[in-house]
Amino acid sequence: MEIIQRLKQIGPGILVTAAFIGPGTITTCSITGAGFGYALLWGLLFSIIATIVLQEMTARLGLVGQMGLGKALRLQFNNPIVRYLTAGLVLSAILIGNAAYETGNILGASMGMVELSGVSSIQMGELSVGLWGPVIGLLAFILLEMGSYKRIEKMIIGLVLLMSFAFITTAIVVGPHMLEVLKGMFVPSMPDGSFYLLMGLIGTTVVPYNLFLHASSVREKWKNPSDLKIARTDLLFSILLGGFISMSIVITAAATFYGSGIEIKGAGDLASQLTPVLGSWAGVFMALGLFAAGISSAITAPLAAAYATSGILGFKPDLKSQKFKWIWRAILLIGILFSAIGYSPIKAIVFAQFANGLLLPFIAIFLLIVMNNKQILESYTNNKSQNLLAIIVVLIALGLGIKSLTHVMGLL
């Protein structure tokens, strides 16, 4: 009964899940499964563990310190030069990363609407402009402008549960090779040409801006350190659910596409994953699913950027604050503009996840420093085990990030 009562109070954790179960997850996981089978599931397993470790720290920061990560970073460093450099680095990382991510969110939702309507763009003289990017951006704007935190939270919970049912059920029905699944999860391998997607899987799961979003949303939801058990239950349930969804998409794509030579280019290709459950309705459901996932992520990305920036610059982190509003409006506008000028949805989405994978180690290092500050967390600072786990996560993420840079620069 106690567990059921705790599950009734889920909220901040599900926002984290909604942020990484967006079009980027659906697309990146599908391409991974179709191209490399079950081989990169270990990357997702690492990502899920890393997310739990890092987000548990942000839950303590938000609940015990009653502040977001942005504010904590501002208070952490006394030296003004170090403080400004830190603020500049974090703001650049979050704003650039979120702008790229927002573009992917809007384009992913647009894929769904194109599949439903059959219309992709409108002609303005000699210029062809994407139709659905601005429309979806406007819808996200209205929801953020009019919605309260609680309203947004409830809407996103429904969307996540819907996507969970669809993908987890489908993964079971397609009948994957369980020995191969287990091998992919626990025996790391990296087939030729898979590194970019491995970084994408990590970037689509351990989203740096979620560290800012989670601390601030926990602060909105709970006020007493005695609620830490509830916050941890919320987090564990939500992240494991998100992990199951991501793995289910990879498993379904592997069982359906791997070795077939089929290239995933749009929502129609992704829809065939759901055929075993929904038959002829698969295309419609996938299109609606992409749209719903895109909208939920298109809301959480600007919201997280606003929380992070407000905390670092000392603004009031309030949905009704004008400064707070202008930050999320700017991120949303960038996403709308890039989505309207004809960027490839698949390329933009995967690139956004790749960029997030590069940003992760830097944000995680800052978080680890804050979580050992007794002035902020008193007796709730990291213990030795928590520090060890966090350091392992940071080192692995840093290693992958360095390898990624050398890979891109053609040094390998």
The total of structural domains in the chain comes to: 1
Q: Mind listing the pLDDT tens digit for each residue in 349-384?
A: 566 656 666 677 878 888 899 999 998 898 999 999
**Which residue is it, tokens 């956004």?**
352
**Domain assignment of residue 2, yes or no:** no
The rounded distance, in Å, linking the Cα atoms of 195 and 400 is 9
State the sign of the Cα–Cα–Cα–Cα dihedral 389, 392, 395, 399: negative
pLDDT of residue 411: 44
**Domain assignment of residue 3, yes or no:** no
3-state secondary structure of 124: strand
The rounded distance, in Å, linking the Cα atoms of 124 and 295 is 26
Identify the residue with better confidence: 127 or 94.
Answer: 94
Supply 189's token pair: 């391998």
**Domain assignment of residue 1, yes or no:** no
Structural domain for 183, as ranges: 8-408
CB atoms within 10 A of CB 231: 27
Supply 89's token pair: 């680095």
pTM given for the model: 0.84
User: Do 216 and 370 meet the contact criterion of CB atoms below 8 Å apart?
Assistant: no
pLDDT of residue 101: 74
Angle at 11 between CA 18 and CA 278, to 5 degrees: 45
Q: Mind listing the pLDDT tens digit for each residue in 188-224?
A: 998 988 887 888 788 778 888 888 889 888 988 888 8
pLDDT of residue 93: 66
**Domain assignment of residue 359, yes or no:** yes
Angle at 95 between CA 93 and CA 101, to 5 degrees: 95
Highest mean pLDDT among 1-15, 119-133, 318-332: 318-332
* Beta-strand runs (E) in 101-225: 121-124, 127-130
**Domain assignment of residue 401, yes or no:** yes
Supply 266's token pair: 């749009």
The domain that holds 93 is classified in CATH as: 1.20.1740.10
**Domain assignment of residue 221, yes or no:** yes
Residue type at 93 in one-letter notation: A
**Domain assignment of residue 151, yes or no:** yes
**Percent of the chain clearing pLDDT 70 (strictly above):** 81
3-state secondary structure of 128: strand
> pLDDT band at residue 410, thresholds of 50, 70 and 90?
low
Supply 133's token pair: 């990017």
**Which residue is it, tokens 């680890």?**
368
